[in-house]
Amino acid sequence: MSIKTFLLPDLGEGLTEAELVRWMVAAGDTVAVDQPIAEVETAKSLVEIPCPFEGVVSTLHGDAGQMMLVDEPFISVNTGGEEAEAPVADEAERAQSYREEERAGTQVPAEAAAEADEGSGNVLIGYGTSSAQSKTSRRRKPRGGVAAAAAQAPAEAVRVINPLVRKLARDNALDISTVQGSGPEGLILRTDVEAALSAEAGQPAAAAAPAATAPAPAAAVPATPTRAGEADSKTGLPVASTQLLSGVRKTIANAMSTSRREIPEATVWVDVDVTKLLKLRSKIKEAEGQAPSVMALISRFAVAGLQRFPELNSRIEVEADGGLRHTLFEGVNLGFAAQTDRGLVVPNVRDAHKMNAKELSAEFARLASVAREGKAGVADLSGSTFTINNYGVFKVDGSAAIINYPEAAILGLGRIIEKPWVVNGKIKVRSICEMTLSFDHRVCDGGTAAGFMRYVADAMTDPKTALASL
């Protein structure tokens, strides 16, 4: 009997974890190579995991709803034969061997380095990493040259139960090496980090005491969340439900917080008469049987506007030394907000500047469909350089949308409604749409944002003239 264990593969875009949504097989089932065995939810999308082995399912290393780590055991399959697989190392050792950050600056054993050179083999089709990439990502040179490397080599790695615990410490600016582990042989558990954070928050002056004489922090017990049906300690009201954010909802929350925290945004808006645009679309539909969506037509104007005002099709990144780097792009990857059962996602049309309105309309429809079905890939949901949000579908007139970090701007479209409008000195009933632009004030001043808005608004008001020049 030969048992082979498949580790959760690299899911791309630096993702290190995924929530197990459901198993598509059970222990004892026969599986074939590339047969879908499970569905997991990453911070980007739902992904089906194919099996790399043929045989009989031996062990499922997780339950529905559980967070699974990349490079951790996922499924074991009995492939037949006589050679038995070597036992998997304990969890703490795996946590140190699978990822560079878990090695904590120590040297990699020769046999592990040789294995890394050949690639892990745990690569999801379509998102894979080559062995060359593995060398780059898993072997970072220590700063400070040869002397620093020599000093690092004998250092003993901090024993941490898994990467999530180390991430918790890093996100809270806690030096993991100062935490006293309560697990076997000093293994640092999540409760140890939470206890250290609690002690640090409750005793701000403790850091001033000499490290050698400071008493070890007391083992604090993390607060137990109030369960559904119980009274909330702060409000006294019964709790309807409570859960930790995960998957897409967690990603949305983090992205919105980061955008608000890092981007000094400003908003401009304008009411646009789109009567002629709607008439033009109706004529195209009558003549050809179908027509681009209104959003596709407006997007075509927006893409053209970005070529005239490229500052809005850019991003600002903070350098290691605190400096700011401003990057402008040749071409546009156009993101658009799509509401799904799993929350708001932003699929993006790659190379949108190369497409006409009909092509944009078709791509919007395709991407929206796969996003709502939960089948959008990582590449479909990342890499946009400018985003359009059509909140008019929710029957609202306007909104100061939050910029899709790390982009520099987001264009919002409100609903189209009939209003009295002055045309050539006379009041007429016209179709009006409120358009807003939230932009990063670091990349440009208000004049640039206003120029872009005026260009797009004028094109929407007189679409025939605009399309003739595109």
Residue 141: how many other CB atoms lie within 10 Å: 8
Query: Beta strand pairing status for 3-7 and 73-78?
Result: antiparallel
Note whether 104 and 96 are within 8 A (CB): yes
* Residue indicated by tokens 């120590």: 106
Q: 384 CB contacts (<8 Å, ≥6 apart)?
A: 333, 334, 335, 346, 348, 404, 407
CA separation for the pair 40, 64 (Å, rounded): 9
- Both tokens of 93, joined, read 């050792």
The token pair at 73 is 């055991």
Radius of gyration in angstroms for the set of CA atoms belonging to the chain, rounded to a whole number: 27
DSSP 8-state class, residue 123: B
Catalytic sites, residue numbers? 441
Provide the terminal-to-terminal Cα distance of the chain, rounded to the nearest Å: 66
- Burial label, 33 (beta-carbon count in 10 A; 0-12, 13-18, 19+): exposed
245, 253 Cβ separation under 8 angstroms: yes
Angle at 59 between CA 54 and CA 60, to 5 degrees: 100
Cα–Cα dist 79/60, whole Å: 15
Identify any residues that bridge with 77 across adjacent strands, giving them in sequence order. 4, 57
Nearest alpha carbon to residue 41 among 429, 341, 361, 445 = 341
Residue 234 tokens, joined: 């702060």
Residue with tokens 């796969």: 370
d(CA 345, CA 254) in angstroms, rounded, equals 13
